[in-house]
């Protein structure tokens, strides 16, 4: 974490504590300052070394806040903040993670019931104590009960989009070390799950100690959690990073084992047992000549949480008993079991082992298959860049087409963000101008219309009919029940002008769960209506998720992998969308924006 982020976090905490104690206006000032510190190009510690005046040059940072920043950089704490913490010793971040609970609520509940943790909050709600607090009622209490589990889980798991860059950085650091023969990520991050518990890394090498030493000295490591002989763990940017080091001839087996999922590994191991083989993290072994070696003790160990046999020489020798059949490469392990190599995204024990055995794994979408983005924004709505800048960024990425889909006005659009009918017509001319000026990329004009709570659209049919493409997305009413959500989304995909159902559930990972529709019904309706279901690649969304995509594939629906970019660099989020689509078994042929321009236009005209 950069020093600017760290300081900004302190200022945000300051704001929360002030708000909790009923102070007005000041919290807003602290939050604005925090935002500007976070985005300031110069490092705060450098500015602080030049004194308060230099710090106060940051936008929205006044003298009082500048003094606190200097105090923090110099001493590691802020006196006034410590006082506020002592007055209100509640775990603010954990408690405000509960939807509907803000700093003020935390303050009131501490005052009345001395609640400081999620567990205490849940117990108080279960005991009916919260409804007794003035200003609270049974509904609030029930909301808290409903939302605590989601908050608890979101505190424990990191978004893929936050963890993946950390994993990539660690990997390139390790790859550059002399002693490293091979390095890979494994675990849930290699399977591209939307959230991850920790980052798992695997290195092949004959020299373990120097690698452990280098790893714990990694500049991005904020702390060492443990350092053993064959493994080490550090914390980076709030996430735990586990490293394991194995012999090069065992790398493939270890990679297979530590990629998981556990359920997938059980299915693969059972296949090995059926063939008189034994599979573990050291290799695939023929144990037909070995006494008692097939008793599967590895797994019993593993389930008890001890994945640490590498440190115990006696056990490691026992688990290597038999003749090694495979283990140096991961593909070799699958092939020795008469399986096609299974892409990590599919390893969830949902039919992939049977498909691999039959030679029927899907021909999965790849990033190179993507030919353009069908959902992007500009400064005509809430994007930060002009139409021509977004188009240039798309052209730079080698795309064949680009669709401008700013927000239409309607439910969920606040502060005049969305375009009304006449503005949409105006923008059509602006897009046509850019289209006429650029070479090598086709520019289309669309809109992101809002789906209201009943499934109707906020924009008039005549306007929609004139556009090249219509994305329709839910932006409001995201707390409605499952049946209404299903009806709403089915109605939207059946709308004659809708081409793409945008971020179907409206979830924000770790922030709000979004709609919970019956995905099979929505997928079937989308297939019948020739409406594509979007996999929104924004790492805060990843919506539709892998399960929804799988339902779409089974229903014969088309999907689209879009970034919803509000800035040029966000076009690169496409990789998160591609891997999410792969988790849903999406084949290239099923993806609208992997098709040629002619095929795209044919789909849109149909």
Instruction: List contacts with Ca ion (CB under 5 A).
Output: 187-188, 198, 200, 242
Query: Is 380:417 a contact under the CB 8 Å cutoff?
Result: no
Which residue has 């070479």 as its token pair? 439
Torsion of the alpha carbons at 586, 592, 595 and 597, rounded to the nearest 10:
-170
In the chain, what are the helix, strand and coil shares in percent, each to the nearest 5? Answer: 50, 15, 35
Nearer to Zn ion, 19 or 448 (CB): 448
Please give the helix or strand (H or E) that residue 268 lies within, else none.
helix 262-274
Nearer to ligand DGT, 122 or 348 (CB): 348
SS3 call for 248: helix
Query: What residues between 155 and 214 interact with ligand DGT by CB under 6 A?
Result: 187-188, 193, 196-198, 200
Tell me the residue number closest to Ca ion, measured at CB.
Answer: 187
Query: What residues between 245 and 264 interact with ligand DGT by CB under 6 A?
Result: 257-258, 260-262
Preceding omega of 541 cis (within 30 degrees of 0) = no
Question: Which runs of consecutive H residues, i.e. helices, occur in 411-545?
Answer: 421-437, 461-466, 482-494, 519-529
Applying CB under 5 A, the site for Zn ion has a residue count of 2
Nearer to ligand DGT, 254 or 526 (CB): 254
Nearer to Ca ion, 184 or 200 (CB): 200
Q: Rounded to whole angstroms, what are the CA distances from 553 to 257, 400, 581?
A: 28, 25, 10
Closest approach of ligand DGT to the CB of residue 12, in Å: 27
Query: Is 208:195 a contact under the CB 8 Å cutoff?
Result: no
Nearer to ligand DGT, 188 or 236 (CB): 188
Q: Does 250 bind Zn ion (CB under 5 A)?
A: no
Q: Does 330 bind Zn ion (CB under 5 A)?
A: no
Out of ligand DGT, Ca ion, Zn ion, none, which partner does residue 302 contact, by CB within 5 to 8 A per kind? ligand DGT
Preceding omega of 544 cis (within 30 degrees of 0) = yes
- Stretches 122-130, 146-154, 229-237, 563-571: which one binds Zn ion (CB under 5 A)? 563-571
What is the distance of C-alpha 219 from the center of its chain? 24
Query: What residues between 307 and 366 interact with ligand DGT by CB under 6 A?
Result: 307
Query: Is 488:498 a contact under the CB 8 Å cutoff?
Result: no
Closest approach of ligand DGT to the CB of residue 194, in Å: 10
Closest approach of Zn ion to the CB of residue 377, in Å: 6
Out of Zn ion, ligand DGT, Ca ion, none, which partner does residue 260 contact, by CB within 5 to 8 A per kind? ligand DGT
Nearer to ligand DGT, 107 or 344 (CB): 344
User: HEC states along 59-120?
Assistant: CCCCHHHHHHHHHHHHHCCCHHHHHHHHHCCCCHHHHHCCCCCCHHHHHHHHHHHCCCCHHH
Return the closest-CA partner of residue 10 out of 32, 28, 30: 30
- The count of residues in the chain is 606
Nearer to Ca ion, 262 or 367 (CB): 262
Out of Ca ion, Zn ion, ligand DGT, none, which partner does residue 448 contact, by CB within 5 to 8 A per kind? Zn ion
Q: Does 564 bind Zn ion (CB under 5 A)?
A: yes
Q: Does 570 bind Zn ion (CB under 5 A)?
A: no
Query: What residues between 272 and 311 interact with ligand DGT by CB under 6 A?
Result: 299, 302-303, 307
What is the contact surface with ligand DGT in residues (CB under 6 A)? 187-188, 193, 196-198, 200, 257-258, 260-262, 265, 299, 302-303, 307
What is the contact surface with Zn ion in residues (CB under 5 A)? 448, 564
């Amino acid at each position: 974490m950069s020093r600017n982020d760290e300081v900004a976090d302190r200022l945000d905490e300051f704001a929360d504590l002030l708000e909790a104690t009923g102070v007005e206006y000041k919290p807003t000032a602290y939050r604005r300052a925090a935002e500007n510190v976070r985005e300031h190009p110069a490092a705060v510690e450098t500015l602080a070394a030049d004194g308060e005046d230099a710090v106060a040059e940051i936008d929205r940072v006044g003298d009082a806040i500048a003094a606190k920043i200097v105090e923090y950089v110099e001493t590691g704490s802020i006196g006034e903040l410590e006082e506020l913490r002592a007055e209100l010793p509640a775990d603010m971040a954990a408690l405000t993670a509960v939807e509907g609970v803000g700093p003020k609520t935390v303050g009131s509940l501490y005052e009345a019931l001395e609640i400081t943790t999620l567990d205490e909050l849940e117990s108080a709600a279960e005991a009916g104590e919260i409804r007794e607090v003035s200003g609270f009622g049974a509904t609030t209490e029930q909301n808290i009960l409903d939302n605590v589990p989601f908050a608890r889980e979101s505190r424990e798991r990191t978004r893929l989009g936050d963890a993946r860059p950390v994993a990539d950085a660690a990997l390139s650091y390790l790859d550059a070390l002399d002693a490293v023969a091979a390095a890979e990520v494994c675990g849930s991050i290699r399977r591209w799950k939307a959230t991850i518990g920790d980052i798992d890394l695997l290195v092949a090498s004959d020299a373990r100690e120097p690698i452990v030493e280098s790893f714990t000295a990694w500049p991005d490591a904020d702390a060492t959690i443990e350092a053993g002989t064959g493994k080490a763990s550090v914390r980076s940017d709030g996430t735990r990073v586990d490293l394991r080091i194995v012999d090069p001839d065992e790398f493939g087996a270890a990679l297979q084992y530590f990629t998981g999922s556990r359920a997938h590994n059980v299915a693969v191991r059972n296949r090995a047992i059926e063939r008189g083989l034994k599979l573990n993290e050291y290799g695939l072994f023929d144990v037909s000549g070995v006494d008692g070696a097939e008793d599967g003790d590895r797994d019993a160990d593993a389930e008890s949480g001890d994945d640490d046999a590498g440190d115990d020489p006696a056990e490691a020798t026992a688990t290597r008993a038999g003749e090694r059949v495979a283990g140096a490469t991961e593909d070799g392990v699958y092939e020795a079991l008469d399986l096609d190599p299974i892409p990590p995204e599919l390893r969830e024990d949902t039919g992939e082992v049977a498909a691999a055995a039959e030679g029927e794994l899907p021909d999965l979408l790849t990033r190179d298959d993507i030919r353009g983005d069908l959902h992007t924004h500009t400064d005509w709505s809430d994007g930060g860049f002009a139409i021509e800048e977004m188009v240039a960024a798309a052209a730079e990425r080698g795309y064949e087409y680009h669709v401008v889909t700013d927000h239409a006005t309607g439910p969920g659009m606040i502060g005049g963000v969305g375009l009304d009918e006449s503005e949409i017509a105006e923008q059509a001319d602006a897009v046509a101008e850019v289209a006429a000026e650029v070479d090598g990329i086709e520019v289309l004009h669309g809109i992101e219309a809002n789906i209201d709570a009943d499934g109707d659209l906020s924009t008039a049919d005549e306007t929609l009919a004139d556009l090249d493409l219509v994305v329709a997305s839910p932006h409001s009413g995201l707390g409605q029940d499952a049946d209404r959500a299903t009806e709403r989304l089915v109605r939207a995909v059946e709308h004659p002008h809708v081409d793409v159902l945008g971020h179907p559930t409206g979830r924000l990972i770790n922030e709000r769960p979004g709609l919970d529709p019956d995905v099979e019904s929505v997928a079937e309706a989308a297939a019948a209506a020739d409406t594509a279901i979007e996999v929104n690649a924004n790492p805060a969304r990843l919506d539709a998720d892998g399960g929804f995509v799988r339902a779409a594939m089974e229903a014969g629906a088309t999907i689209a992998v879009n970034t919803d970019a509000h800035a040029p660099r966000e076009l690169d989020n496409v990789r998160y969308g591609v891997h999410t689509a792969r988790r849903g078994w999406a084949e290239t042929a099923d993806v609208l924006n992997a098709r040629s321009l002619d095929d795209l236009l044919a789909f849109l005209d149909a």
